[in-house]
Structures are given as structure tokens and as C-alpha cells.
Amino acid sequence: MLFEFFTWWYGRGWINAWQWPLEWVNKVQMEFSIPVLLHTLFSPWRQIISLPGRSLEERFRAAVDNLISRCVGFFARLLVLMIAVLIMAVVGLVGLIEAIVWPIVPVAFIYFVYRSVRG
């Protein structure tokens, strides 16, 4: 049984340790809908738009309102994108550290058990 554990740990388990971070980064990317956010980056906030009236003043007011709505939408989506990228970077970094440390864990466990018994 111990041989099977080490076979799994240094075989399929280590491969999974490299795949899990990629899956988690992809999951974060899908949860935050990054492709949709990028596609709609310059869209108005919550699709709030003003229709221009007939007079020049009404058209100007509608243009300013629409510009403000687009700016609010841009900054809100940009903030969400930055948070998503930060979370993906942290998840990727933690996963990379896990995958690098993975082969050391059983050896370290044996070493520390030996040290504690030896006294």
C-alpha cells in the first residue's frame, strides 16, 4: 500500500498538482465572465441610455448622460477585471508553489518523523 501511495504521489498526483491551478484559474475566469466584461467594457452602465430629443440642448444633455453612463460602466467593469486578474494571479501562484512543493512533502514527513523519534 505504501508503494501504491508513492506511485500515485509522484505520478498521477503530481500531474494533478500541476493541473489544479489551471482549472482554478479557468474557474475564476468563468465566474467573473471575463470575456463578457471585455466585450462590453465600453457599454453603458446597466444599459442606461438617454434618447436625444429634438432640440440641440436635449441632444447635448443626452450625449453627456450617455458619456457618463459609459464612463461609469467602464470603470465598474475595469475594477471587476482588475480584481479577477488579481485573484487569478494569487490562485496561479499558490498552485505553482503547491506543485513545486508537492514532491518534497512525503520526504519531509519522513524526515520529521525520524527526527522526532530520534529525539
pLDDT digit string (tens) for 78-94? 999 999 999 999 999 99
Exposed/middle/buried for 14, CB within 10 Å: 0-12, 13-18, 19+? middle
Q: Can you give the pLDDT at residue 22?
A: 93
Q: Can you give the pLDDT at residue 98?
A: 94
Q: Can you give the pLDDT at residue 47?
A: 74
| Dist. CA 20–CA 26, nearest whole Å | 10
Q: Compute the mean pLDDT over every residue in the chain, rounded to the nearest whole number.
A: 91
Asked if residue 25 lies in contact with residue 92, where contact means CB atoms within 8 angstroms, the answer is yes
Q: Can you give the pLDDT at residue 46?
A: 80
| Dist. CA 16–CA 18, nearest whole Å | 5
CA nearest 8: which of 103, 109, 113, 104?
103
